[in-house]
Amino acid sequence: MNLPRRTFLKQAFSGTALAVAAGAGLLRPTQALARTWPTWPAQTFHIKHWQALEHALFGSKPVTHGGVHLHAPLEAENGAVVPMVISTKVASPKRLALAVDHNPYSLATLVNLTPRAFGFFNVRIKMGKTSRVRAYVETAERVYTVDRLVKVTVGGCGG
Amino acid sequence: MHIATRMKTRTRGDVTEVLVLVNHPMDTGLVKSPVTHKIIPAHFIKTLTIAINHEPAVITDMGIAVSKDPLIAVKLKGARKGDLVSVDWIDNEGMTGHAESHVS
């Protein structure tokens, strides 16, 4: 979980009383989080290019190829529903991300994991056209990535 | 508009697989209606949280690229029989949904 962002947003949006209570240790952080909605990272979801996205998400953390599996079809007959499975065996993954190079906005989904979750995520996404799809796993020290080319024969964004 | 949220869990040993299905339109805001030729406004789930006994375990932020009627699977660690697994989501219009079930 991206703690600085969570902490910031929790304080910014949860109302002063709750933030003060959480700050004073009256509420455990998870309780405070459960009562408020973690705020959606709008800026990140509006990044168009995958390289800019990678930089925005992970900054200067070293990026290694491998360490993560992306199960994606070689060819999608329907770009509106393309199944994707991200899985990883790396120790204590903190975030998973899925990005599509040629979609209007690169980032499809960003998954914050706690120690209660395995490094696994299955989702179906839309793809406008044939594109490379990138999966990322972020740990405290580094980022693991893998990409797959998925051919789309019927687009997902035009219906 | 009512949006149905369904959840299923399956536990094997230490691994609890959670399947979530939400009947949500996930409109991108980029598509024109073929009937009215007007842009269909964006309507999509922004954040979906899966929790064990009310403690968030997976928090998913989604963009418009997630397909209509999102079907999501995650794997949770160390959930025991009787633990409450729940899912909550909120979309860009402030609509929310919830589903829960006990680990059997």
A105-135, pLDDT tens digit by residue? Answer: 999 999 999 999 999 999 999 999 999 999 9
Residues B36-48 have pLDDT tens digits of 999 999 999 999 9
Nearest-Cα distance to chain A for B41, in Å, is 14
**What are the extents of the domains in chain A?**
3-35, 42-152
B104 belongs to a structural domain: no
What is the extent of the structural domain holding B93?
5-99
Whole-number Å distance between alpha carbons of B73 and B85: 13
Cβ within 8 Å, pair A123-B66? yes
Cβ <8 Å between B65 and A117: no
Q: Is residue B30 part of a domain?
A: yes
**A133 Cβ under 8 Å from any chain B Cβ:** no
Task: Please judge whether A111 and B90 are an interchain contact, meaning their C-beta atoms are less than 8 angstroms apart.
Answer: no
Q: How far is B45 from chain A (nearest CA, A)?
A: 10
CATH of the domain at B69: 2.60.40.10
Is B29 an 8 Å CB contact of chain A?
Answer: no
Question: Over the range B15-41, which residues count as b (16 or more CB within 10 Å of their CB) and which as e?
Answer: ebbbebbbebebbbeeeeeeeeeeebe
Q: How many domains does chain B have?
A: 1
Looking at domain A42-152, its CATH superfamily turns out to be: SoxY domain (2.60.40.2470)
* B9 within a domain of the structure (yes/no): yes
Q: Is the model's pLDDT at A136 over the cut of 80?
A: yes
Q: Would B92 be classed as within a structural domain?
A: yes
For B32, nearest residue in chain A (alpha carbons): A158
